[in-house]
């Protein structure tokens, strides 16, 4: 079967003077349509580097990346931009909404760039706003919305392009925990309705809302499986530290 996302032995190596930093150190990963995957790991483990490659914002140093069967690992900037527009919907920690445009215009903007007609833009934007429960706020300016609502507008903007994959990099990073859970609830709902979601987070309590967790450490995958398996959320270092503490305390 053809996978939606297929990374094969992907390396991303940065040469820093004499030192080669292996931001990704041989990653193989497949994602199928309808999955909800959280990529987790500590700061510096390679999450954003993986996200940039999956999101066609960067290419691997070596290894291959196929998106819906197309080899994107060797594409130039223009070809990558086209694939991004067609296939990917991005949600970031900062909502990146344009303050002077109202909610509807913000959601329509990428469609305008993609050359979609005015009536079709309006239809798709209103449909996407309906899916995140904000159709009634379509004439508001971003400043007239709460943080959680602004993030939902950015989710609608990602959805309006009808992407094959929704990529969310720390989407709850700027939100309080209750609002963060709400936004996660929307991603779960979209996934239940058939959308494929790849979520990047350092927060285990957010990651367990996905169906599958991929844990990175030092640019390598150290766990890939069910999000509800205890091994998915155990940090090896924390385990080791707990073990040492138990020994010291003779427990």
Close Cβ partners of 178 (under 8 Å, ≥ 6 residues apart): none
Q: What is the per-residue binding string for ligand ATP in 183-222, x denoting contact by CB under 6 A?
A: -------------------x--------------------
Cβ 24 vs Cβ 50: under 8 Å: yes
Q: Give the separation between CA 194 and CA 60, rounded to whole angstroms.
A: 29
Q: Which two tokens stand for residue 217?
A: 């450490």
Q: How far is the CB of 136 from ligand ATP (least distance, A)?
A: 35
Interaction pattern, residues 2-31, with ligand ATP; x per rule: CB under 6 A = ------------x-x----x-x--------
Binding mask 14-53 for Mg ion (x = CB under 5 A): ---------------------------------xx-----
Q: Examine residue 49 and tell whether it contacts ligand ATP (CB under 6 A).
A: yes
Using CB under 6 A, pick the residue from 45, 73, 106, 172 that binds ligand ATP: 45
C-alpha span between 93 and 180 (Å, rounded): 11
Backbone angles phi, psi at 87, to 5 degrees: -115, -20
Can you tell me the distance from the alpha carbon of 148 to that of 126, in angstroms, rounded to the nearest whole number? Answer: 18
**Rounded-to-integer distance, Cα 84 and Cα 159, Å:** 13
Nearest approach, Cβ of residue 12 and ligand ATP (Å): 8
Residue in the block written with tokens 């530290």: 241
Could you give the CA distance from residue 54 to residue 123 in angstroms, rounded to a whole number? 29
Of 19, 43, 99, 249, the one binding ligand ATP (CB under 6 A) is 43
Among 6, 10, 35, 47, binds ligand ATP (CB under 6 A): 47
Residue 150 binding partner per list ligand ATP, Mg ion, none, with a CB distance cut-off of 5 to 8 Å that depends on partner kind: none
Does residue 48 belong to the site contacting ligand ATP (CB under 6 A)? yes
Helix or strand (DSSP H, E) at 100 = none
Binding site for Mg ion (CB under 5 A): 47-48
Binding site for ligand ATP (CB under 6 A): 14, 16, 21, 23, 41, 43-49, 202
């Amino acid at each position: 079967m053809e996978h939606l996302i297929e990374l094969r032995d992907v390396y991303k190596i940065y040469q820093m003077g004499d030192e080669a930093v292996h931001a990704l150190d041989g990653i193989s990963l497949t994602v199928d349509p309808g999955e909800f995957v959280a990529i987790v790991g500590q700061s510096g483990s390679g999450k954003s580097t993986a996200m940039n490659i999956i999101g066609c914002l960067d290419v691997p140093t070596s290894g291959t990346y196929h998106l819906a069967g197309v080899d994107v690992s060797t594409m130039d900037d223009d070809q990558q931009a086209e694939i991004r527009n067609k296939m990917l919907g991005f949600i970031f920690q900062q909502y990146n909404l344009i303050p002077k445009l109202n909610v509807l215009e913000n959601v329509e903007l990428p469609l305008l760039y993609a050359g979609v007609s005015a009536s079709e833009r309006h239809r798709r934007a209103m449909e996407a706003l309906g899916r995140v429960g904000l159709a009634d706020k379509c004439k508001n300016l971003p400043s007239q919305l709460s943080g959680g609502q602004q993030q939902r507008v950015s989710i609608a903007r990602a959805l309006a392009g009808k992407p094959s994959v929704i990529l969310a990099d720390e989407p709850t990073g700027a939100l309080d925990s209750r609002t963060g859970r709400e936004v996660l609830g929307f991603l779960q709902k979209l996934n239940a309705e058939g959308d494929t979601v790849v979520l990047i987070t350092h927060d285990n309590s957010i990651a367990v809302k996905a169906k599958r967790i991929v844990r990175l450490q030092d640019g390598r995958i150290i766990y890939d499986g069910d999000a509800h398996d205890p091994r998915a959320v155990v940090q090896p270092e924390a385990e080791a530290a707990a073990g040492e503490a138990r020994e010291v305390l003779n427990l």
